[in-house]
Structure 1
Amino acid sequence: MRTLFTQQLEKITASVLQNILLVASSFRLHGKV
């Protein structure tokens, strides 16, 4: 159970990090930062 839970957490954190990177890169392209 703990392994499945950690695997799900890793997937969620990875997707969230990717989304943050995409938003940050888009803001940089638009020059909002």
Structure 2
Amino acid sequence: MISSPVSVGLHTRQLRFWLLEELWFLSVLSPEHLA
């Protein structure tokens, strides 16, 4: 499948935000694991 650079950029940005939210969520749920 061929995607336009704009579509790829938006998808990458959404994935990056999702990863950041996932890491933040895990850090908030389990602070003792990061200590």
Query: TM (normalized to structure 2)?
Result: 0.75
Structure 2 letter corresponding to 1:4: S
Aligned structure 1 segments of 4 or more residues deviating by more than 3 angstroms = none
Structure 2: gaps spanning 5 or more residues: none
Say yes or no: does 1:23 pair with 2:26.
yes
Query: TM (normalized to structure 1)?
Result: 0.79
CA–CA distance in structure 1, aligned partners of residues 14 and 25 of structure 2: 17
Q: What is the root-mean-square deviation of aligned Cα atoms in Å?
A: 0.9
The number of aligned residues is 31
Structure 1: gaps spanning 5 or more residues: none
* 1:11 match: 14
